[in-house]
Structure 1
C-alpha cells in the first residue's frame, strides 16, 4: 500500500549549513505523470551538489525542493504510458532527470549539454524522502545482490567521476593527479588504478589521505603540495578555484585538467607560460549522459569497487550535510530511510 503522505527534507531557506537551511516536513506522496514511475526510496547518498543547493551556491530552481539524486529504490507504481519497468523492479535514480531528445546536442549524443535538461533534486523533488517520481527512461536497473548503501554513491559520485576520467584524456599507464578525495574521487581512483594508471592524491583531509593510500594511491599529499612527478592528467574534485592554477602547474606537456564539480569558487588569474603553454588543456565536466551512466554501472558490476560509506539515519540529513561541509565524511554519506 502506498501511503498518502511521507516524510521529506526540503530546502526551506538556502544559506550556510550552520543556519539550518533544511527543514523536515510531511508532504503528499507524488503521483507519477505520463512516462514516469513512482519509486520507493531504499537509500539516498548525499552529494556535494546537495550541499551547494542547500547553501545557495547552486540557485534553487523551485521553492522548498527535496534534494537528493543518488537514489536506490523500487518501482512502486507506474504513470500513464510507463511500460518498461514493472512494480518491484530495483532501480537507481541519478542526477540527469530528462532531456528534450530533439536539440542538436541530444542528436549528437551530448544530451548532458541539452539546454532543456532537468535534474533530480533540483528541478524536481529528489530522494531525501520516502518516494519520488522519475521518468522511467532515465532510471537504471540495479542488481539485487548488492547492498543499497553500496550502490547509491555509484549513481552520481561514480558516474560523474567516470565522465571526468574520460574528459581528462589520461593516456594508458599515465600519471593522474586527483585533487580532493571524497565520494567521487575515491571511486574514480579505483577505476584509474585498475586501468594501470599511477595515481597521486592531493587533499587537505588527513583521513582522506589514509583512505587514498589504502586504495592504492602511489602518493598522497596536501592539496597545495606538488606531486612527486609531472602529471599526464588531473581531475579537480574539490570546489576550490584556487587549486586550478596549482593543478595546471603540475601537468606535463600536453596534459589535461578536468574540473568535475557543478560549482567552483573563482579561479585566480592564470599565467599563460606557466599554466597553459605547451598544449596544456583546461576542461569542465557538465553532468553526464545516460550512456556514461550505463557504461560505468556495467564496469562497476564487472569489477566491483570498494565503496566506503558512512550511514546516517533519515532524521539526520542536516547533520550529514554539515559533516560533508566540514570534511568529516570518509567516502560517501548515505541516508538510510527507516533507520533511527
Structure 2
C-alpha cells in the first residue's frame, strides 16, 4: 500500500483536444501528505463523468497544467491531517465535484454555496480521482456507510446522482407530475428512478436505441427520439444532453407553467427562441450550477432506502482514456466506472 513519500499512478490532461488526439497521459506522481483539514484517500473506484470528457477535450479549460480528472471517487482514508475530526483511517468516503467554497460571500451565507465565486472543484481545480491516491478537503467529503453496497454502485451517485437531484428540484416537478428527460446517460438513468419513486410519470427522449430500452426497463412510460414530441404535455423537463438545439424542442413540449432545467456544465449554442411557442404561458427556462453539500446529503439519504439499479460499465484504471473515448462516442449506456481494485 502506497503512502505519503511514495509515488502513485495518475492520469493527467496533458494537451486538451479530441479524444482521438490522446489528451490524457498516465504518469507517476508523489503521494502527498495531508495538510490541515485534508484527507489522503486511496481511490478504489471512480465514476467517469461527461464533465471529465469536457475537460479532456477542452470544452472546459483546465484550471492548471497536468490536472487529474475525476470527481466520483470512492475509497478509504489512508491518513488524516490536523483538524479532521470525525474521520479516521480505514473509513469509506466519497469525494465529489464540489471541493471548496469561501464560506464568507453572500451566496455561501445564504445557503447557495454552489454559486460561490471562489468555489473549487475536484478534477478541475484540485486533482481528482483518475489516480490511485488523492487529497480532499474533509469538509467536502461524504462519509459513506458500510452497508454492503459495492463501491462501484456508489461512485456515480456522487455527481451523476447529486446533479440529477438538484436538476429535479430546479425543475419544480409537482407531485405525480409528468417529467421529460432529454438524454439518458449516467445522470438521467439515476434521476428517472428517483422521480419514479416519488410518483412521477417519466418520458425519456434520447437518440440512442439502447438507452431507450434501458429507460423502459427502469419504468419510463415512454422512450422516444431526442427530437420527438412526448405522448403528453410535460409539467417539467430536464435537459441532460449537452445539445443547445434541444432547448426549444423541450420548451415546446412543456404544458402551461412548466419548467425546463438544463443540467449540464457545458451546452452548445441555443438557437433563437420563439416567445409564443417556447416561453409564453409562463414556461420557465432554468440552469443548474453544480450543487451544495446539503444537496449531496439530502440525495444520498433519500436514495439509501431505494432499490436503485445503477447500470455500470466497468473499465480498469489503465483504460481511463478508453472510457472517455467510449463516452464521447455514445458507447456507454449507464455510467462508466474505473475500478482500481482490479
Tell me the TM-score normalised to structure 1 length: 0.99
CA-CA distance at 1:81 after TM superposition: 2.0
Which residue does 2:287 correspond to in 1?
284
- Structure 2 counterpart of 1:138: 140
Query: In the alignment, is the contact (CA less than 8 A) between 1:253 and 1:279 conserved in 2?
Result: yes
DSSP 3-state at the match of 1:228? coil
| Aligned-residue offset at 1:288 | 0.4
Number of the residue aligned with 2:221: 218
Task: State the alpha-carbon separation in 2 of the partners of residues 58 and 278 from structure 1.
Answer: 35
Count of residues in correspondence between the two structures:
339
Deviations 1:299-321 (A, max 9, x none): 11111311110000010000000
Moved more, 81-90 or 325-334: 81-90
Structure 2: how far apart are the matches of 1:44 and 1:284? Answer: 26
1:337 Cα shift?
A: 1.0
Residue 148 in structure 1 maps to residue 151 in structure 2:
yes
Cα deviation 1:136-166 (Å, max 9, x = unaligned): 1111111221100100000000000000000
Q: Which of these residues, 306, 310, 313, is aligned with residue 310 of structure 1?
A: 313
Q: For each residue in 1:198-233, what CA deviation from the matched residue of structure 2 results, as whole angstroms up to 9, or x when unmatched?
A: 100000001100100000000000001100111000
**Does 1:126 pair with 2:132?**
no
Q: Is the 8 A contact 2:95 2:141 kept in 1?
A: yes
Contact 1:84–1:136, Cα closer than 8 Å, also in 2:
no
Q: Distance in 2 between matches of 1:18 and 1:2?
A: 32
* SS of residue paired to 2:320: helix
**Conserved in 1, the CA contact under 8 Å of 2:39 and 2:77?**
yes
Paired residue secondary structure (2:216): helix
Contact residue 172 and residue 197 of structure 1 kept, 8 A: yes
Distance 1:313 1:77 in 2: 25
Residue among 228, 252, 267 paired with 2:231: 228
Please list the CA deviations of residues 88-119 of structure 1 after superposition, one character each: whole Å capped at 9, or x if unmatched: 11000000001111111011100000111100
What's the secondary structure of 1:239's corresponding residue? coil
How large is the Cα RMSD of the aligned pairs? 0.8
- 1:102 maps to which residue? 104
Report which stretch shifted further, 46-55 or 329-338: 329-338
CA distance in structure 2 between the aligned counterparts of 1:97 and 1:304, rounded to whole angstroms: 28
- Aligned counterparts, 1:81-96, within 5 A: 81-96=83-98
| 1:202 maps to which of 196, 202, 205 | 205
Q: What stretches of structure 2 of length at least 5 have no aligned partner?
A: none
Q: CA deviation at 1:281?
A: 0.2
Counterpart in the other structure of 1:77: 79
- What secondary structure, in the 3-state scheme, does the structure 1 residue paired with 2:304 have? helix
- Runs of 4 or more, structure 1, over 4 Å off, are none
Return the alpha-carbon distance in structure 2 between the equivalents of residues 211 and 2 of structure 1: 40
Shift of 1:135: 0.6
1:164: which partner in 2?
167
Quick one: distance in 1 between partners of 2:114 and 2:62? Answer: 19
Q: Does 1:39 align with 2:33?
A: no
Q: Is the 8 A contact 2:170 2:261 kept in 1?
A: yes
Aligned to 2:273: 270
Q: d(CA) in 1 for partners of 2:49 and 2:81?
A: 28
3-state DSSP class of the match of 2:173?
coil
Q: Distance in 2 between matches of 1:209 and 1:37?
A: 40
Tell me how far apart the structure 1 counterparts of residues 22 and 60 of structure 2 sit (CA, whole Å): 16
Q: Which moved more, 1:302-311 or 1:68-77?
A: 302-311
Matched, 1:2 2:12: no
Shift of 1:83: 2.3
- Unaligned 5+ runs, structure 1: none
CA distance in 1 between partners of 2:114 and 2:308 (Å)? 25
CA distance in 2, matches of 1:82, 1:200: 44
C-alpha distance in structure 2 between counterparts of 1:95 and 1:67, whole Å: 10
Give SS of 1:302's match.
Answer: coil
Instruction: Kindly indicate whether residue 182 of structure 2 is the aligned counterpart of residue 179 of structure 1.
Output: yes
